[in-house]
Amino acid sequence: MADHSLPVLRWADPPDGPMLVLLDQRRLPTAEVEVVCTDVPGLVAAIQSLAVRGAPLLGIAGAYGIALAAARGYDVADAAQSLAQARPTAVNLAHGVQRAVAAHRAAGGDGAAAASAALAEARALHREDAEASDRMASLGVELLADLLPGGGYRLLTHCNTGALVSGGHGTALAVVRAAHRAGELRRLWVDETRPLLQGARLTAWEAAREGMPYSVLADSAAGSLFAAGEVDAVLIGADRIAADGSVANKVGSYPLAVLARHHEVPFIVVAPVSTVDLGTAGAATIPIEQRPGHEVTDIAPGVPVTPVGARAYNPAFDVTPAELVSAIVTERGVVSPVYGGNLAAVCSGSRPAESRNGDGMMKA
């Protein structure tokens, strides 16, 4: 598990009934406080308000949500529907819910035994995600060493992909952490990630705790950073990866992929196979969550920076096409070049061959 003074997510079972306790990510970095969820509506609200967030952790939270509903005698089918729809782009959430529901149903679908089965499945998913995180970190560092043999990496990341999104050390930021611990991280560039500043608030908080050399930049400054030759690779996570290799991630990821391609910089996605949705054919069929406009028009709750009545366009995610992705690192192997056949091979447990062009860049 990650080293936090307060765990990111934990199950508690006091005398008055079980509960799911979450580190409130809305309050970071200024305060480490917890949110207690004793029912599914409370958990759904925590998910939608981003008190808990990040694709892998949402899957874990979804599974624990089913365990919570079962243990407290709520309708599990209703709970599953509410949880799975709480954030539509993040496929891990529905995946975690489905796993816990299947375990609950297999144990009879009612009573203490079924509730225990759902909880056991949630705990299993929690452990598996931590193991997947370690494996992705190892494979990601190997990939960086292969692509950038000189070491001393200058890595750019977007949003937050560390221990705050995982049962372990995370996805893309877990790779950065491993590079740092190996003495190979020269600089971590942290996009602030507007409008909710998950980079400036959360990734910087994690980087500081790890003692990483990092700098925060405005999202709009990334282009000048590439132009100055200060970025060796981009590492991001994913909320859903379609069957053709299209990657949905925090809005602002796609422009980075375009910049990376123009400047011949590897653009690497790090995500567990549970994020791959082979039932979604491509970019056009990935549902994109639209967030409230006040996240853009207000610099803080109740503090507007736009004229009264201004409308806002606020998609939570954008989609990067497979041809702009150099590699996808999963716990089962590295997908490169990125296309449907290679992606399906990794999901089935068969690690695809890697292919590079003459200058060492991976073919996309």
| pLDDT tens digits, one per residue of 53-75 | 999 999 999 999 999 999 999 99
Residues 102 and 180 in one domain: no
At 15 the three-state DSSP class reads coil
Same domain, 236 and 187: yes
Q: Write the pLDDT tens digit of every residue in 6-30.
A: 799 999 999 999 999 999 999 999 9
DSSP state of 335: E
- Provide the pLDDT for residue 353: 46
Give this prediction's pTM. Answer: 0.93
Q: Is the peptide bond before 195 cis (omega within 30 degrees of 0)?
A: yes
**Nearest to 70, CA basis, from 106, 102, 110, 30:** 110
Q: How many Å separate Cα 331 from the centre of its chain?
A: 14
Q: Rounded mean pLDDT of 168-183?
A: 97
**Per-residue confidence (pLDDT) for residue 300, from 0 to 100:** 84
Considering the domain architecture, whether residues 219 and 116 belong to the same structural domain is answered as: no
172 plus 317 within the same structural domain: yes
What is the CATH classification number for the domain harbouring 55?
1.20.120.420
pLDDT in tens, 243-287: 999 999 999 999 999 999 999 999 999 999 999 999 999 999 999
Per residue in 96-123, pLDDT (tens digit) is 999 999 999 999 988 999 999 999 999 9
Quick one: which H or E segment has residue 70?
helix 55-71
Same domain, 189 and 291: yes
Shared domain for 121 and 211, answered yes or no, is no
Q: Which helix (H) or strand (E) holds 300?
A: strand 298-300
Whether 106 and 142 share a structural domain: no
Asked if residue 363 belongs to a domain, the reply is no
**Co-location of 151 and 27 in the same domain:** no
If pLDDT is split at 50, 70 and 90, which confidence band does 350 have?
low
- Residues 22 and 35 sit within 8 Å (Cβ to Cβ): yes
Does residue 179 share a domain with residue 87? no
Please say whether the beta carbons of 97 and 83 come within 8 A.
yes
Q: Which domain holds residue 86?
A: 9-128
Q: Are residues 168 and 235 in the same domain?
A: yes
| Domain co-membership, 263 together with 303 | yes
Would you say residue 4 lies in a domain?
Answer: no
DSSP designation for 362: B
Instruction: Give the residue numbers annotated as catalytic, written as ranges.
Output: 239
User: Phi and psi for 356 in degrees, rounded to 5?
Assistant: -130, 155
- Is residue 355 assigned to a domain? no
Query: Does residue 46 sit in the same domain as residue 175?
Result: no
